[in-house]
Structures are given as structure tokens and as C-alpha cells.
Amino acid sequence: MPYPNPRSVLVALATPFALPAFLVLLLTISAAWGEDTNMDTTGYTPRAVILIIGDGMDDQQISIARNYLKGAAGKLLLDTLPVRSAVGVLTVEDTVDGRPIYVADSANTATSIATGAITSRGRIATTAGSDRDLVTIIELASAAGYRTGIVTTASVTDATPAAFASHVNFRLCENPDAMVDIHYKSVYLGGCPDDLKANGGPGSIAEQLASSGIDVILGGGRKHFEPQIEGGSVPVSTLARQRGFQLLTTKQELSRVSPPGRVLGLFSAGSMPVRLQGQNGRQAEEAEPSLLNHLHDYIGDVTLPAPMSCEPNPEANTVPSLREMTDVALDLLAHDNNRGFFLMVESASIDKQAHERKPCGSIGEMEQLDEALASALAYADKHPRTLVIVTADHSQAAQLVPAQSLFAAYPVPIYSPGMTARIQTPEGSLLVVNYATNNFSHEEHTGANVPLFSNGEGQGRVPAYAQQPELFTIMREYLSL
């Protein structure tokens, strides 16, 4: 929003066409006042949006984490936010005017949040069916002079961060070597031939990030910056350096960063190690019915997975925490910045650990999110025009189920047909997490609407029920984009 320079008022008054020019000027000033009059002396009202996404952070995950981390009667920092509502997730088939799909993935949901569009699973800021690129909030903010940042515990090329700053038709096109015929163990998964530079496309996600105008990118995914750029002879990381990024790869380097500067921090090869794990690395396990019970559900007995505690994952110390990355990002973005910024912070492995049936992992990543939120709120306390939004992209498989069945009076073995983890909580109770959406190595997502939170700045802006694309609109309007 341009602020009329006082000198131009004088110039306008001094010319022969003073009156009409002055009227135009007055209208400009009025329009500016109509929006916000709390400008600083530099001519801008600095504003910031900090968007925190808990991947797969549905109400089951929140409740599991609350019980473990704070006790049933305790509260996460999330629980103390003044605005809490719900977001409906929308997905469509990959055709023009496709029918609704009721369960999303992180690619299409991040696209909804980042661009305001509804698209199909697997797509990164591109339209369903027609494969057009969608302008993202980071691109809009950057063009309007805001600084921008991405912080994630996943690879920075993973679906959620990718959808804020790149455009491909398939989420796994993360680096120049993964653009066509992407396979996993001889299974064809997809590809992005139309997105190759050779075909007039923007290239892989890593190349797009390296060439982007983003100021801060922190997370995992170093391996995606090692391949050579398409049609060139340098790795993607070199392209990033050439485009002005300072490259970091260790926690120590991160701790020494100071503004100003543009930074690309890649602290692990892929996803960053998570904070917590099951005792001795255990995850959810199947119950073991006796031979008799195999013959009939109502006879014999069953051995349930032994209770376990959660323990620190020793690998977690090798990388910075989500909070440490968030703190550095806020420092860099806010330094000597009279315009403001947009920052997306993702706790990615709430979802990834749930896919792998590792409830302790999800709990630790919920804790990481709550800590990053503390940083965001501390920043917002000092900088009043900061909208902090917390949400999830989609819901997940994990369910908090009873330690003792509601039907325990019946003398039959009652157990989950899926896999469960029976976790001893610090307050001395047994917390049982069930994973039973499929028989595959990875659980499914689910289709429930997800939570939406904000700080006081969201009051009157964040509705009681939003559809996911509306989040884009709320943030865009807040930054007057």
C-alpha cells in the first residue's frame, strides 16, 4: 500500500492543476486510511503472517499429545489460543470439473492453503485436470515486497512446503533426477515430464526453490539439492548459492546465522529425525490371539502388545529443533524490515510417524509444533500486527482407544484388528493408540475436518467454519495482497 509522500501534497497544491490533483490525492489518502492508519515512519504498516501447519494434526493427535505431554487435565499451548474453529478439507478428481474425493493428501491440501484453489491428490500448486500453475501466497507476498520463509521438519521439497513456492503435477518430482518415471522398488509412482525445463516447464521442486525469491528455507532434504540441475553441470545447491542463498547444513551453522541475508538450511538428507520414539524403537503392534481365538472370536484369549514408554530419539540431537529453526527464521525475516513477512512453519512428522504407526513419534512432533507456536506468539506479542494461524492439512489414521474395552464385562478377548501401542503416560495411566485403516506398511489419511486456531489477531478474521481454500483468502487479505 503506497503512502502519499508529504512533498507530493505541496507539489500538487503548487501546480496550475492543483485542485483536481489534490482531490485525487485526498481520495488516495482516504483509501489508505480506510485500510489501516497505524503506519510507521517509513511509509509502510509492517504486517506478518505466521502460518503453522501440523501435518495430519487432527483432534485425535492433539488429544493423544495433550494426555501424554500435559496430562488429561492439562493444556497444550495450542489449547490456550483465543480462536479455535474448524476447516473443511476439499479435494477433487484429477479432471476438469472432477467430482469430490473425500480424503485428501498433503499436496492438494497445501495447495488449497497456499493458493485458494481446490485440486487433486498429489498436485503441487497446479490445477486438477488442466495442470495450470496456481499463484501462491508466497509468490504474491514476495511480489508485494514482503519477505517470505519456509520452515519444516520434512524435506523442504516435501508436499506441504513445496506447494507454497513451486508448481509440478506430482509431489515426488522433488529433484532433477526424479522428474520422469519415478519408481519405488520397481513400482511406477508417477512423473512430471511436462514440468521439465526442456519441455518449457519450471523444473523440479528443488530447482524451483533454489531459483525462488524466498528469503529463508530451513528443513531437511539435502539429498534433493545434490543432483545436477537439468541441462546444467552444477548441483542444485550451487544454483541456490548463485541465486544468493547462504547454505547451511548443521545445527551449529544455524546457531551462528545472523541477519541480514537469505538462507537455505538443509539439516538432514530427507525428513529430519523426530524427537521421540517408542521404547527400544517399538511402534504399534498386532495383538496375538491364541490358537483357540483364531478358530472363533469368542473363545481363547489374546496377548496385547506390552505397555511401553516413549523415549528420546538420540538422532534428534543432530539437527536443530523446529523451534530453533523458527527463531532463526523470525530473526532473519523481521530484521530491519518495515514491510513485513509471510512465514510457513510445518511440523511434518506428526503425519509421517502416524503413517508408520509410531505414536511416540507423533507426540514428540506435536510438542515441537507447540514450541514453535510459543516462538510465534512471543514474536506476535512484540509485533502486534502479526496474524498467527495454526491448522492441520488433513486428518489421520491414529485413534485414541480405551485401555479397557467398554465391553470388558463380556468374557471374550476384545482387541483391535489393526495395530495398537499401549503407552504408559507420565501421569500413570495407559494411553492406547490404534492404527487400523489398512493392512499396508503405511496407514491412510482420514477425511474429518481439521482444527483451526489463531491468536487474537484472528478474531473477526477466522470464521467458525472455513473451507480450506478460505485460509488463503484470510492471509491474503491480512497482507492486503
Of 55, 58, 158, 327, the one binding a copy of itself (CB under 8 A) is: 58
Are 211 and 233 in contact, with CB atoms under 8 Å apart? no
**Contact flag: residue 119 with a copy of itself (CB under 8 A):** no
Of 29, 448, 461, 473, the one binding a copy of itself (CB under 8 A) is: 448
Please, which residue, 222 or 422, has the CB nearer to a copy of itself? 422
Of 384, 402, 426, 477, the one binding a copy of itself (CB under 8 A) is: 402
Which among 30, 63, 85, 106 is annotated as catalytic? 106
Question: Segment near a copy of itself (CB under 8 A), from 72-80, 220-228, 250-258, 357-365?
Answer: 72-80
- Beta carbons within 8 Å of 87's beta carbon, 6+ residues apart: 391, 392, 449, 450, 451, 452, 465, 466, 467, 468, 471
Map the footprint of a copy of itself across residues 411-430, applying CB under 8 A: 411-418, 427-430
Map the footprint of a copy of itself across residues 235-294, applying CB under 8 A: none
- Beta carbons within 8 Å of 158's beta carbon, 6+ residues apart: 106, 152, 171, 174, 221, 271, 348
**Contact flag: residue 374 with a copy of itself (CB under 8 A):** no
Nearest to 455 by CA among 374, 394, 392: 374
Instruction: Say which amino acid occupies 469.
Output: P
Instruction: Say which amino acid occupies 346.
Output: E
Are 431 and 425 in contact, with CB atoms under 8 Å apart? yes
Q: x/- binding map, residues 452-471, to a copy of itself, per CB under 8 A?
A: -x----------xx-x----
| 106 classed as catalytic | yes
**Contact flag: residue 440 with a copy of itself (CB under 8 A):** yes
**Contact flag: residue 154 with a copy of itself (CB under 8 A):** no
Nearest to 225 by CA among 245, 239, 215: 239
Size of the site for a copy of itself (CB under 8 A): 81
Map the footprint of a copy of itself across residues 163-182, applying CB under 8 A: none
Map the footprint of a copy of itself across residues 189-208, applying CB under 8 A: 189-190
Nearest to 429 by CA among 403, 407, 408, 406: 403
How far, in Å, CA of 153 to CA of 221, rounded? Answer: 9
**Contact flag: residue 299 with a copy of itself (CB under 8 A):** no
**Contact flag: residue 436 with a copy of itself (CB under 8 A):** yes
Please, which residue, 156 or 466, has the CB nearer to a copy of itself? 466
Of 65, 83, 236, 348, the one binding a copy of itself (CB under 8 A) is: 83
Long-range contacts, stretch 23-30, CB < 8 angstroms, 24+ apart: 28/4, 29/4
CB of 90 to a copy of itself, least distance (A): 6
Please, which residue, 33 or 465, has the CB nearer to a copy of itself? 465
Question: Segment near a copy of itself (CB under 8 A), from 145-153, 310-318, 373-381, 400-408?
Answer: 400-408
For residue 166, give the DSSP letter: -
Please, which residue, 97 or 336, has the CB nearer to a copy of itself? 97
Instruction: Say which amino acid occupies 212.
Output: S
Of 6, 256, 409, 460, the one binding a copy of itself (CB under 8 A) is: 409
How far, in Å, CA of 159 to CA of 110, rounded? Answer: 7
Q: Report the run of H or E that residue 364 belongs to, with start and end.
A: helix 359-382
Matching residue, cell 476447516: 87
Are 327 and 345 in contact, with CB atoms under 8 Å apart? no
The residues annotated as belonging to the active site are 106
